Structure 1
Amino acid sequence: MSTRYELGVDFDAVAAIDMHVHLEVDECGHKAMPQDLFDASAAYFKSQERTPSIDRIAQVYRERNMAAVVFTVDARTALDHEPNSIEDLVAGCARNNDVLIPFGSVDPRRGQAAIDDAVYQATELGVRGFKFHPSLQGFDPSDEQYYPLWKALEELWLPCIFHTGQNGMGAGLPGGRGIKLRYSNPLLLDDVAADFPQLKIIMAHPSVPWQEEANSIATHKANVFIDLSGWSPKYFPASLVKLGNNVLSSKLLFGTDFPLITPEKWLGAFEQLELKDEVRPKILKDNALRVLGVRGS
């Protein structure tokens, strides 16, 4: 029988909520991606601890008095590689529910099976959102063949994280291993946000080379947010930082991309950004509480 997750985080006590953490290996040692993609991304990010267990991830965040959203990516069609077990991920988050929050993932290219799986993960396993990586999964999120999935997720009232911008997956490999960057253009998500206005969409990462597009969408659409993972803050585009001090102050979310970037490295650089004092707690925790449906709307 599968374990169902129940939220146990004391949100008043934690200092921050990391909205972007990967579980890259499940309880059986199965990795989320083929080995060559692991090796390429490790070289790209120069990461040291590449495949921590779910309990190790919990330890990292518990020691830092933080909560973390944890997920994997189901890209079985595009990669011809079975995904990590969502059941294992949820069970690991359940036994560490004081610091971990599970997001699910489905492969949109599986049609009705993806919809059924998403409903199962939400209603039976208790996941608190979903993660998609259009480039890795090989799909255009604005294609109307995927609209039944977005409709189902909208009806579940759960946020969805979509990778946007530059891609560490396949970086440096011939042809980028066939991974197409254009699927991660945030403008493709503008269609989804417009047509599903109750679906909370998180555009993951500074969306280089499409940062201005991402800024515009997050400013225009009440249901769109930006997580700041995958880049050290010292490399953030100037326009993102500037707007973060005003019109996007309630739209930006703390995220690292752990284990590729550690909380210490990210937060150390974040302290050096020219941000207003009142904006920092919004980014580190307050905005996430609204996106996760914990507080406010």
Structure 2
Amino acid sequence: MDTDNIVALDVHVHAETSCTDPEDPVMGQYFDAASSYFKVSRQRPSMAETVAYYREQKVAFCLFTVDCEAGIGARRIRNEEIAQLALDNPDVVIPFASIDPHKGKLGAREARDLIENHGIRGFKFHPPMQNFDPGDKLAYPLYEVIAEYGLPAVFHTGHSGMGTGMKGGGGIRLKYGQPILVDDVAVDFPEMKFILAHPSWPWTDESLSMALHKENVYIDLSGWSPKYFPPQVVRYANGQLSDKMLFGSDFPLIRPDAWIAAAREVGFKEAVMPKLLKENALKVLGLARKN
């Protein structure tokens, strides 16, 4: 990847359509609800369409699915599909994997194989959809592998558009999105880089505190248009956390170009925008050029 030739690096992009398999009907119900919540088209782009769009925008991106087979009973998109797409499109795609923590040691074996043989560069967790407390020891075999290789992991935090408006929230428990639940894990695995996804509302200040307190905790600002950010997010990005905030869109629910345009209007300092859009992410992902 020629990092000088990209204008931004989006650390939060979803693959929601398999290249080979039909959409899972259970997952389809959640996509219906999320489309209504975000007021976007129900039609999801293919992975090839996603690559073409980001390449046109000159934006690199971390791509992942969410393995929530135990949590909601939806069949996952195979991590190998993500890895192959990145292998075919290394100029823009950075492959992340998602493994349901309920898979225990078998999930840990899969993680190791994906890292060693498929080029996976990070991992995605969605505790509310995967129905687990991030600090539960059931996930530790998986964390141990991620930590061994020093890779980053994205954790969904805060409210979830997935399940919003469904009966009983589609069975999704918002409590597992509380950022402080990741704090013990960040202590126990200092070699891992933790990316707390979204502004974490209604627990925004927990994420800000954790990123301020722990060297290995970062925040991605995906899932919300910047025009709706709580004011303390912009304030900390302009100050003590200028090296800890990362650009993320939550595509296909939010377009990166729309996010960037809104970010330029909400008060981020001119000197902070390059860090936010690309420089901080390059460091977290180990892609920054060494002087």
TM-score class, shorter: over 0.9
Shift in Å, 1:166: 0.5
Shift in Å, 1:248: 0.7
| 1:253 and 2:237 matched | no
What TM-score does the superposition give when structure 2 sets the normalisation length? 0.96
Q: 1:59 is matched with which residue: 52, 64, 69?
A: 52
Q: 1:27 is matched with which residue: 19, 37, 45?
A: 19
- Distance in structure 2 (CA, Å) of the matches to 1:238 and 1:50: 33
Shift in Å, 1:152: 1.6
Indicate the residue corresponding to 1:43 in structure 2. 36
Q: Secondary structure at the match of 2:253?
A: coil
- Distance in structure 1 (CA, Å) of the matches to 2:22 and 2:174: 26
| 1:267 and 2:260 matched | yes
Which 5+ residue runs of structure 2 have no aligned equivalent? none
Indicate the residue corresponding to 2:120 in structure 1. 127
Q: 1:184 is matched with which residue: 171, 177, 183?
A: 177
Q: 1:11 is matched with which residue: 3, 10, 17?
A: 3
Indicate the residue corresponding to 1:160 in structure 2. 153
- Distance in structure 2 (CA, Å) of the matches to 1:89 and 1:291: 20
Indicate the residue corresponding to 2:271 in structure 1. 278
Output one character per residue of 1:74-106: Cα deviation in whole Å (capped at 9) or x when no partner. Answer: 111112222002112211222111111110110
1:49–1:259 contact (8 Å) kept in structure 2:
no
Q: 1:80 is matched with which residue: 73, 93, 118?
A: 73
Indicate the residue corresponding to 2:197 in structure 1. 204
Which stretch shifts more, 254-263 or 42-51?
42-51
Indicate the residue corresponding to 1:294 in structure 2. 287
- Distance in structure 2 (CA, Å) of the matches to 1:202 and 1:50: 28
Q: Secondary structure at the match of 1:19?
A: strand
**Residues 164, 50 of structure 1: alpha-carbon distance in 2 compared, 3 angstrom cutoff:** farther
Shift in Å, 1:49: 6.3
Shift in Å, 1:264: 2.1
Output one character per residue of 1:205-251: Cα deviation in whole Å (capped at 9) or x when no partner. Answer: 00000001110000000000000100000001111110110111000
Shift in Å, 1:267: 1.3
1:26–1:89 contact (8 Å) kept in structure 2:
no
Q: Secondary structure at the match of 1:79?
A: coil
Shift in Å, 1:296: 7.1
Shift in Å, 1:295: 2.3
Q: Secondary structure at the match of 2:219?
A: strand
Which 5+ residue runs of structure 1 have no aligned equivalent? 1-8
Output one character per residue of 1:246-290: Cα deviation in whole Å (capped at 9) or x when no partner. Answer: 111000000100000011221121110212111000000000011
- Taking only the aligned residue pairs, the percentage that are identical comes to 46
Indicate the residue corresponding to 1:6 in structure 2. none
- Distance in structure 1 (CA, Å) of the matches to 2:287 and 2:50: 22
Count of equivalent residues: 289
- Distance in structure 1 (CA, Å) of the matches to 2:80 and 2:171: 29
Which stretch shifts more, 88-97 or 178-187?
88-97
Shift in Å, 1:140: 0.3
| 1:98 and 2:84 matched | no
Q: Secondary structure at the match of 2:97?
A: coil
- Distance in structure 2 (CA, Å) of the matches to 1:153 and 1:209: 28
Please tell me the root mean square deviation across aligned C-alpha atoms, in Å: 1.4
